[in-house]
Amino acid sequence: MSDSVILQAQSNDASFDDVWDELVWRGLIHVSTDEAALKELLAGDPITYYCGFDPTAPSLHLGNLVQLLTMRRLQLAGHRPLGLVGGSTGLIGDPRPTAERTLNTKETVATWVGFLQGQVTRFLSAEGDNAVRLVNNLDWTAPLSAIDFLREIGKHFRVGSMLKKDAVAARLNSDEGISYTEFSYQILQGMDFLELFRQYGCVLQTGGSDQWGNLTSGTDLIRKVEGTHVHAIGTPLITNSDGTKFGKSEGNAVWLDPTLTSPYAMYQFWLNTDDADVIDRLKVFTFLTRAEIEEYAGKVASEPFKREAQRRLAYEVTSLVHGVEVTEAVIAAAEALFGQGDLAELDSATLESALRELPNTTTTAPGATIAQALLDSGLSASLSEARRSVSQGGVYVNNRKVEDSEQPVGDAVLTGNMLVLRRGKKTLAGVFVE
């Protein structure tokens, strides 16, 4: 199923009076400007809104997906999205809580801009009267001299207010401090909103709640310069079960690019969602209706061991990001690994991505024995233990019981020179034969 077909199948939930009420129910409004005014605005004639994505990596991640899906819900309500990929702000990066960012080269950032633009357009429709438009803030910052920037934009910002922003305050209190480069980021983002207001009549910016100081830099700037009140929405930060943010700065990002996070790994990530989190994840990351999600909530409460909500969540999000066909191949691979399907029918790319996610993997020569592969992969502590496991009928290669511990692994490889080694019912290892 193509991206356009997936987009065409999406819709907002008709059981809500308007898109604002649906955003609130889905838990997507953590902080905002005037709620009553926003509700009225979003229920009226189409408005133009934007969200910015900085190319500080070659791919967006699940934290960014929250923004993309929020934008999509607003687009489905008839509003006009601007997808900003920050060719200039990406050269600086918004301040992290603890340390300065590594500055990437202009060439690297320009390349990443293209990557991110391609990802943004996959989640927002390019058809109709409210088709997504891509913008790059390098277009209006590059021609601007430092003197013009300070005279026209910088004079509207007060240092005292800038110091109070959470991201800046955190850095000022850290050992690293903060450079003027990153301190100026909020001015650049504020200028973006002003420019989009002037060019496109943009009156709403969305972003993560941790960006609230940057979001309000824009609303304050437009009020001072243009005498107009515009709006901002801050979505909640999605956290892991241990309370940590999942994003690239935490080192545990789930990327939207399949070369950085395989579809199999993404599917497993969602499949492993805690019972306590799964309903909230269905609200944020899927287009299931309120009635459907409430039905899954009942299943989680009455039959959590079936993990039906987790399976639906994993299917929906992986299909959204990677497509239905890829997702179905991933599901087939997961089932086949544990003997519920034919491993030989899997394509090599899907099988390899699945094996790479196993906690035990090894590379060995074609002439190595099954016993040696058990030892090398960590499924057995010694060769004698490996041979004993085989003699007791507890070892499987590609879901078939092994009769001879001295059988060469080369005799059992699947497509791509791989095989699946299993000891007992659930302990697996991937073996790559080279």
| Distance of alpha carbon 186 from the chain centroid | 24
Whole-number CA gyration radius for the chain: 25
Looking at residue 223, its amino acid is R
Lookup result for tokens 């649906």: 22
Report, as ranges of residue numbers, the positions in the chain whose pLDDT lies below 70. Answer: 1-2, 240-241, 244-251
Q: Could you give phi then psi for residue 193, rounded to 5 degrees? A: -60, -45
Scored b (16 or more CB within 10 A) or e, 201-225 reads ebbbbbbbbbbbbbbbbbbbbbeeb
Scored b (16 or more CB within 10 A) or e, 68-99 reads bbbbbbbbbbbbbbbbbbbbbbbbbbbbbeee
Lookup result for tokens 């983002």: 189
d(CA 142, CA 416): 48
Fold match flag (3-239 vs 262-357): no
- Listed by start position, the domains of the chain span 3-239, 262-357, 358-434
- Residue 99's pLDDT is 77
Give CATH for domain 3-239.
3.40.50.620
For 348-365, the DSSP string reads: HHHHHHHHHTSS-EEEE-
Asked if residue 315 lies in contact with residue 331, where contact means CB atoms within 8 angstroms, the answer is: yes
- Residue 244's pLDDT is 67
Provide the whole-model pTM.
0.91
Query: Helix (H) and strand (E) counts for the chain?
Result: 20, 11
Nearest to 61 by CA among 304, 257, 239: 257
Helix axes 348-356, 324-337, angle to 10 degrees: 60
- Residue 247's pLDDT is 47
Asked if residue 106 lies in contact with residue 91, where contact means CB atoms within 8 angstroms, the answer is: yes
d(CA 157, CA 102): 26
- Residue 168's pLDDT is 84
Lookup result for tokens 């934290």: 63
Asked if residue 93 lies in contact with residue 39, where contact means CB atoms within 8 angstroms, the answer is: no
d(CA 7, CA 76): 10
Element at 72 (helix H, strand E) = helix 62-76
d(CA 136, CA 88): 8
Reported residue count of the chain is: 434
d(CA 414, CA 342): 11
- Residue 251's pLDDT is 59
d(CA 331, CA 325): 10
SS3 call for 423: strand
- Residue 92's pLDDT is 87
Please list the alpha-helical segments (H only) found in 272-343. Answer: 275-285, 290-302, 308-322, 324-337
Asked if residue 130 lies in contact with residue 80, where contact means CB atoms within 8 angstroms, the answer is: yes
> What residues contact 59, with CB distance under 8 A and at least 6 apart?
115, 116, 119, 255, 256, 257, 260
Fold of 262-357: Tyrosyl-Transfer RNA Synthetase (1.10.240)
Q: Which CATH superfamily is domain 358-434 in?
A: RNA-binding S4 domain (3.10.290.10)
